Every structure is written in C-alpha cells, then in structure tokens.
Amino acid sequence: MTYSAVEVITAKRDGLVLDDGAIDWVLRAYLDGEVADEQMSALLMAIFFNGLDGRELATWTARMIASGERLDLSGLSRPSVDKHSTGGVGDKVSLILCPLVAACGAAVPQLSGRGLGHTGGTLDKLESIPGWRARLSNAEVLDQLERVGAVICAAGEGLAPVDRRLYALRDVTGTVESIPLIASSIMSKKIAEGTSALVLDVKVGTGAFIKDRDRALTLAATMVALGDAHGVRTRAQLTDMSTPLGVAVGNALEVTESVDVLRGGGPSDVRELTVALARHMLELVGIDDDPAARLDDGSAHAAWRELVAAQGGDPDAPLPRAPLVEPVLAPRAGVVGRVDALGVGLAAWRLGAGRARKEDPVSPSAGVRCLVRPGDVVEAGQPLLELHAEDPDHLASGREVALGAVSVGEGPAPAAGLLYEVVEGRAG
Ligand code: URA
C-alpha cells in the first residue's frame, strides 16, 4: 500500500482512524525527510483536535520507540525502576529519589531532559555542581547502574529520535497540550530507556502544564496503559502543583535543599512526596525496604555522593551563590492564602533560573526561596520570598512577577493536600 502525506492529514482532519500502515509510513517518511515539517505540523494539529484512539496510540508509540535504539538493562544484577514527573516548580524530587531508591537496592536509569519555560530541568540543577557531567555513553550508563545503582543523565540522541523532531515542532505549532501526543512522547522515551518498571508523577495545579484534575487523570491512565502494553510495570500518582514544592526554586538552591532531604532533614512536603514515590517504585520491583529509614540512616546520602562523583562532580564543592539577594515583604499582616506555583516559577525563570528557548543558558545561582506556606500567619513587612539573581535587570524582571505570587488576607487558608489519586497498571 502506498500512502501520501496529504491523504494521511485529511483522513485525521476528517476524524477517520489511521491504519497501522499509515502511521508507520508517516513517522518513517518524516524522519527520512519525505514528509515535510509543514505537513507533519498539519497532522499534529489534526491529532490535537481529533485525538488518536487506543489502537492508533499504541501503534504511534511503538513506531516512535522503533525509530531508535532500546537500551537493554536485563543484564543488571538489580531490578530497574524509574520515575517521570510531568514537571513542576521546585520539583527536585529526582535528585533525592534516584540515590534513595538505589540505596534500597534497585537500579534507577533516569535519562532526563532540560527545563523549558517556568519548570526547571533536573540536568540544569545538577550542572550547578562543579565538574558534574550530563552526557554519558550507553556503556557508562550500564556500568554506573551496576556499581552505584543510579544514573541521572541526558537522554542520548539514539532514544526515540522521532520524538525529538516532533517535540520541537509541537513546541512552535501550539500542539504540545494533546493527551495522546504527550503520552506517546513521554512513554516512548521511558520505554526505550529499558526500565522494567516506571512511576509517573502527574502534576496538577497552576504550576503544572495540566491544570485540571480530570485531564491529568486521563493523561495518567493513558500513559499507564502504554507502559502495560510494552511490558513496563507502570503506576501513576497525581500530585499537587498549585504551591511550589519545598522552599527552593532554582538550580543550585534546589541542589542544596535536596542534600538537606538526603541527610534526613529538609522541607516536609519534599520528603513526603519523595518517600511516597520511592514506596511505589520499590513495590513495583518487589523490594521490601523502608525509604524513610534510608534517608535517616545516611545510606541515601552516601548513594548521592557516589552518583555525583561517578559523573565527575565534587559532592563537597561549594555551589554557586547569587550576588544579589532581595526579600519580598508582606504588604500587610494576615494569613497567607496562596503561594502560587506558576507565579513563583515565572519569577525564578525571569531571575535567570530557566530558559525560554532550548539553546539558552541558565544561571546556576538564580531563583526564589519561598519563606512562607499557605496558612502561615505573617506580620506586615515580614519576608515572604527571597529573590536570588546575578544582575539587577534580572532581579527587577523577577520582582515584577514575584510580587503577585503570594497573597496575604484574612484567612482561612485553602485546604492543602499533596498526594491525590493513584492510577494502577494491570501488572502494578
Ligand atoms: N514532556 C515530554 O517529554 N513530552 C511532552 O509531550 C510533554 C512533556
């Protein structure tokens, strides 16, 4: 059967179901340059409006995986399990979770991307550690997983290469927020990475890219079903992202906070979420251990030091500090109503912690420290946030949005909750 790009686009535009051959052809022809960017953009927009049914999505995802290599972790002596977060403000959980779960006996192959927009990227955070390197060969990944039990590194070019092209196109054509396109993009990379089990932290709230709980549940169920279909034991946990996670938002600031949690301290919400995700991960691979105890007895911190050193970093090196630090003060006495994740994320981004385009540099030291939580009682003039920046222009730009990110009123504070629904896979 021969296919043409225009026929595939018009079929999806008119709400028809694409057969396996059409999906196979269009993704392959796109990678080969036979289908042009403008034609793929039109198809993505048609999918944005008309979706993909279960079979189409399964085929689309399988072809994305088959567009590149799939790592084989079956030779490791430890069971492999990874986690993916859909991205949030102050979400430094991977930094803690990977060594923590390694300390409990699993292998965590965390192949990550960089941050874009108001949510930070795990690699950007770790690169604030002097000497730490994000690029590893496949052989180095396997060796480190066996020796240390955890790797956090840049996903190689060879994993689901068609996703790289599609994601760049979606970013500039208004087609990112489509559940089948998000689910296939995330899951193709995670499945290609070779993990045997996966926990998905699906964020909901102002600072998440999905704000609505029902849509987040649909995304979670869609990804869990894709994991199941490819033999990856998958479970999703919906979690709140209306308030930043922890105190620190920004690269080096978040590393410092992560080390606090790895030493058994740190903010209680970061610890609660990390321990909950670690429990899911350990359950999926049948390891009976208590991750909270591994934070308290120093073994998670020891695994962190090994992970950082294995990738060329110095775990004892001082981290970069911003030369400019300025508080945002409470305009009145009262009860803190909200500390808005999106507002704080945008402030951190403007202060220099994030990037607008994927080739932009990030400041290792810029960011925000959130000194209050919803429900706290504050005096007029009390510091609410602390802004960190490398230069006065970034500071002024961040200050503009930071001022609106925290509200102080008469109370009562909104009900807080961090952990929402769990979506279980068939094999979970
Ligand atoms: N992250 C991804 O990797 N892909 C998406 O489509 C959205 C978020």
CA atoms of 408 and 336, how far apart (whole Å): 4
CA atoms of 310 and 289, how far apart (whole Å): 25
- 410, 265 Cβ separation under 8 angstroms: no
Q: Which of 349, 295, 351, 296 is nearest to 322 (CA)?
A: 351
In 287-399 the beta strands, taken as DSSP E runs, fall at 324-329, 334-339, 367-370, 377-378, 383-389
CA atoms of 258 and 247, how far apart (whole Å): 11
Radius of gyration of the chain (CA): 22
pLDDT of residue 427: 66
pTM for the model stands at 0.96
Distance linking the first and last C-alpha atoms of the chain:
39
Tell me whether residue 163 is one of the annotated catalytic residues: yes
* Ligand 1 center from residue 394 Cα (angstroms): 28
- 135, 153 Cβ separation under 8 angstroms: yes
**What angle separates helix 213-229 from helix 179-192, to the nearest 10 degrees?**
40
Instruction: Ligand 1 pocket test: pick from 118, 165, 167 the residue with the most ligand atoms within 8 Å of its Cβ.
Output: 167
Dig out the tokens for 167 from the structure: 């994601």
Choosing from 83, 118, 170, 350, the catalytic residue is 170
Instruction: Report which protein residue has its CA nearest ligand 1's atom 7.
Output: 182
Choosing from 12, 78, 83, 189, the catalytic residue is 189
* Ligand 1 center from residue 87 Cα (angstroms): 9
DSSP helix/strand/coil, 151: strand
In sign, the C-alpha dihedral spanning 69, 70, 71, 74 is negative
Q: Where are the alpha helices (DSSP H) in 311-370?
A: 341-348
Dig out the tokens for 219 from the structure: 């995304």
Tell me whether residue 314 is one of the annotated catalytic residues: no
Q: Which of 89, 92, 94 is nearest to 209 (CA)?
A: 89
Domains of the chain: 5-51 (1.20.970.10), 82-317+419-424 (3.40.1030.10), 324-409 (3.90.1170.30)
CA atoms of 166 and 27, how far apart (whole Å): 10
Instruction: Ligand 1 pocket test: pick from 61, 84, 176, 223 the residue with the most ligand atoms within 8 Å of its Cβ.
Output: 176
* Ligand 1 atom at minimal distance to the Cα of residue 170: 6
Dig out the tokens for 215 from the structure: 């849509």
Q: Which of 372, 368, 407 is nearest to 386 (CA)?
A: 368
Which class for 356: exposed (0-12), middle (13-18), buried (19 or more C-beta within 10 A)? exposed
* Ligand 1 atom at minimal distance to the Cα of residue 185: 4
**Which residue type sits at 136?**
L
**Polymer length in residues for the chain:** 428
pLDDT of residue 138: 94
Tell me whether residue 316 is one of the annotated catalytic residues: no
* Ligand 1 atom at minimal distance to the Cα of residue 113: 3
Tell me whether residue 170 is one of the annotated catalytic residues: yes
Q: What residue ranges line ligand 1, CB within 6 angstroms?
A: 167, 176, 181-182, 185-186
Phi, psi (rounded to 5 degrees) for 223: -70, -40
Tens of each residue's pLDDT in the chain, 428 residues: 899 999 999 999 999 999 999 999 999 999 999 999 999 999 999 999 999 999 999 999 999 999 999 999 999 999 999 999 999 999 999 999 999 999 999 999 999 877 767 777 999 999 999 999 999 999 999 999 999 999 999 998 899 999 999 999 998 899 988 999 999 999 999 999 999 999 999 999 999 988 999 999 999 999 999 999 999 999 999 999 999 999 999 999 999 999 999 999 999 999 999 999 999 999 999 999 999 999 999 999 999 999 999 999 999 999 999 999 999 999 999 999 999 999 999 999 999 999 877 778 899 999 999 999 999 999 999 999 999 999 999 999 999 999 999 999 987 777 778 999 999 988 65
* Ligand 1 center from residue 352 Cα (angstroms): 23
Which phi-psi region, left, alpha or beta, contains residue 117 (left: φ > 0; alpha: ψ -120 to 50)?
left
- 159, 111 Cβ separation under 8 angstroms: yes
* Ligand 1 center from residue 180 Cα (angstroms): 11
pLDDT of residue 131: 97
Tell me whether residue 190 is one of the annotated catalytic residues: no
Choosing from 185, 188, 242, 365, the catalytic residue is 185
